[in-house]
Amino acid sequence: MSPALRQVLVVLLCTCGLVTLTGQINHVLAPAALTLEVAGLLVAFAGLRLDFRRALIIAFVTGLWVDASAPVVFGRHAFLYALAVCMLARFRARLPREETFVGVVAALFINLAVFVLAGFLDLGTLPDSSAGGLRLLADLGASQLFVALIGPWFFACQIQALRIAGASPTSHTRRYA
């Protein structure tokens, strides 16, 4: 198996694992009427560290994985995640993208953007849009806190998984003698 394919599969395994883990946390949080959204973490590592084409495949397939059990148009999350990767590809050359801190900040921004975009797409379906705002705000706050808390762990988890699989991403850090 080529290292490129191994990279895609390993990162996909990690993102699908995170989707499952978040699903379980949301299951536990259901009585409190709070929902966590981790879209930013699902695409930030691939978008910042991997080749654009591989990152796009990972984002798209992860989106389809999320879409499979959501009552939305099939492919919606896939395109939102793919759009996030495209945005990252535009800016990543100017960022110290191997820094975990940068990754977490990028994840927070993507999370916010996906949340707002999905909110705009669906706001009309709520029977009372104004009352929905409070719930969305609470969900967003909890999600951002969760992403900031587990972000460093999830980045480290993906790096270690790639190292074990022998498919570590190429380093782009400039080293000076």
Partner 1 sequence: MRFDQARPFFTLGVILLAWLLLPAVVKRFVRLSFYELKAPVDIAASYAGDLQDFWSQKTRTNNELISAARDLAAINASYELRIREDNRLRTEISRLEELLRLPSYGEFRSEPARVVRRDFNAWWQRIIIRKGRNHGILAGSPVIYSGGLAGRVVEVHATTSVVELISSPGLRLAAVFDGDDRPVSFQGGVNPPLRPAQGLLEFVPLDLFATAASPRALVTSGLGGVFPPGLTVGQVVQLDASTDGLFKTGRVQIDDRLGRLTEVTVLVPLDPSVVTPADAAP
Q: Which residues of the shown chain bind partner 1 in the complex (CB under 8 A)?
A: 16, 20, 23-24, 26-27, 30-35, 52, 56, 60, 64-65, 67-71, 74-75, 78-79, 82-83, 85-86, 89-90, 122, 125-128, 131-132, 134-136, 138-139
> In whole angstroms, how close is the CB of 27 to partner 1 at the nearest point?
5
What's the closest the beta carbon of residue 52 comes to partner 1, in angstroms? 6
How many other C-beta atoms are found inside a 10 Å radius of the C-beta of residue 136? 18
DSSP 128-169: -HHHHHHHHHHHHHHHHHHHHHHHHHHHHHHHHHHHHTT-PP
Nearer to partner 1, 48 or 139 (CB): 139
Nearest distance in Å: CB 156, partner 1: 23
Cα–Cα distances (Å) from 24 to 28, 39, 44, 89, 110, in that order, read 6, 16, 22, 31, 22
| Closest among 135, 155, 158 to 37, alpha carbons compared | 135
**Comparison of 2 and 69: residue with beta carbon closer to partner 1:** 69
Distances (CA, A) of 102 to 67, 68, 91: 28, 30, 12
State the minimum distance, in angstroms, from the CB of residue 30 to partner 1: 4
- Nearer to partner 1 by C-beta: 82 or 104? 82
For the purposes of burial, counting CB atoms within 10 Å of the CB of 143, is it exposed (0-12), middle (13-18) or buried (19 or more)? Answer: buried
Closest residue by Cα to residue 148 from 8, 40, 31: 40
Please state the closest distance from residue 176 (CB atom) to partner 1, in A: 27
Specify the residue, 26 or 160, whose C-beta has the smaller distance to partner 1: 26
Among residues 1 and 28, whose Cβ is nearest to partner 1? 28
